[in-house]
Amino acid sequence: MTWGWRALALGCGLLLTLAFAPRDIWCLALLSPAVLIWLWSRAPSAREGAWLGFAFGFGTYAAGTWWLYIAIRVFGQAPVWVALVVMGALVLIMAAYQAALGYVVVRWLSARRPVGWLLLVPAAWVLLEWWRGWFLSGFPWLSLGYSQTDTWLAGLAPVGGVHLLSAMLLIGAGALVTLIQASGPARGSLRAVALVALVLPWTLGLSLRNVEWTHAEGATRSIAILQGAVPQDLKWLESNQKKILDDYAALNKQALGADLIVWPESALPDVANVYAKYIGGVWSDSDAAGSGVLMGVMRVDDDGIRYFNSVLGLGKSEPEFYDKTHLVPFGEYFPVPHAVREWLRLMSLPNSDFNAGAHDQPPLSVADMKISASICYEDSYPTSLHVATRESGLLANVTNDAWFGRSGARYQHLQIARLRAIEGRRFLVRAANDGVSAIIGPSGAVVAQAPEFTQAILRGRIQLRHGTTPYLVAGNYPVIGAAAVLLAIMVLGPLIRRRRSTI
């Protein structure tokens, strides 16, 4: 029976990944956690609760992040065993988080009672989701709330962000367990409470879905997003550099006249310092046509030592840079000792570091717009972007999801960007090397999208928006604080009363 339960938990973890893009079977984000909570309610020991959580987490992250193999092995040219070790380490760490949650739930959080299903388990799960999103750089991928970008629940995102959506899903999951398992004289009342807990968040989300929160300002602006579609295996070949430069120059020339032209991450095949004349030509032509440019570049600082992954803003004044803050471990920096770096060099693996940009960088000022920029997956760290977002009228993300081939990673990443637009109630322009390049509206809808894997210019219009949402003001503090206080009251309260009774 024990192994059967673990297999069921593993299967539910696997199924959970289908709740996210590109499958978008959103109800699985409600049903899969409900089955796990039900399994925890029947676990004979805290140790078994940990095994159930581990199996669930292993299934989720093995199925949900398998595309790392493409980046590490296919394009990174690492040996197969290195790719499997790195992937396995990530999956095991994420599964260990869920195992710790399972142990705590069964040991201390009333796993067999409605108060646990409806309140304590959701609170602990959300705290864990928040923790793994920032601890030791963090990995916020596959947070439950991202699965709800196209549901009524998304109306709550401007109020409390992705973690509020996760909390509502988990309360709903606990409500399903309560509807099934409630017993005793209060069974009818418990089921009534559970039904309200299941339905109310969706009703609130629907009622808030059309609230503007921010206001439009000025005339609409024209946008042109350049998608070079450079194959990742040709990106850094010296023999291909001229073609890349020529292709982007031609695309930019075709886009002239748009108010803002956006290039993807690391569009140039070497550091920007090498291409000062080339960039100057692009800037001169664009300025003459009345166009501002956002260009994803790598650059070396004036000290000649520090390297940055950046967005270069070319407007009417001096060039401006936004430097990426959240770097990818083992992709953009290597948190390993010197001896390991030497081994990486012998293995012919990338081993140089980028430097992280300063926190709370101001928005870029280009084409008479204040633009909050982000690079690649750092758009999955919303609170680090809050200051710039509040001061901006437009969001922009440049990325290169070609690292993950034709896998679902690019669609998961687009889904994350869509939630950022909803939380800030602003347009978001997204330039990707080979897709998914898109213009996303303040409601999270994709209003324009370029064909994937082909060279293209995506044109559209956006409206600058100003003002703020509750989430941009308070961030995660209300949701995380409420979860922490609830756990403290429900768990520590009885312990304190018990201790006092023995004095």
Q: Which residues are catalytic?
A: 265, 324, 376
Using DSSP bridges, classify how beta strands 369-375 and 456-462 pair: parallel, antiparallel or unpaired: unpaired
Compute CA distances 258 → 56, 252, 254, 314, 496, whole Å.
48, 10, 10, 14, 65
Compute the distance between CA of residue 81 and CA of residue 87 in angstroms, rounded to an integer: 10
Helix (H) or strand (E) holding 11: helix 2-16
Contact of 357 with 376, CB cutoff 8 Å: no
d(CA 234, CA 375): 21
8 Å CB contact between 415 and 149: yes
Rounded CA-CA distance 139/465 in Å is 30
The answer for residues whose C-beta is within 8 angstroms of residue 149's C-beta and 6 or more apart is 415, 418, 419, 422, 444
Question: What single-letter DSSP state applies at residue 111?
Answer: T
Can you name the residues that pair with 313 across neighbouring β-strands? 294, 320
Distances (CA, A) of 38 to 16, 94, 177: 16, 21, 6
Contacts 24+ apart (CB under 8 A), 72-75: 74/405, 75/232, 75/233, 75/402, 75/403, 75/405
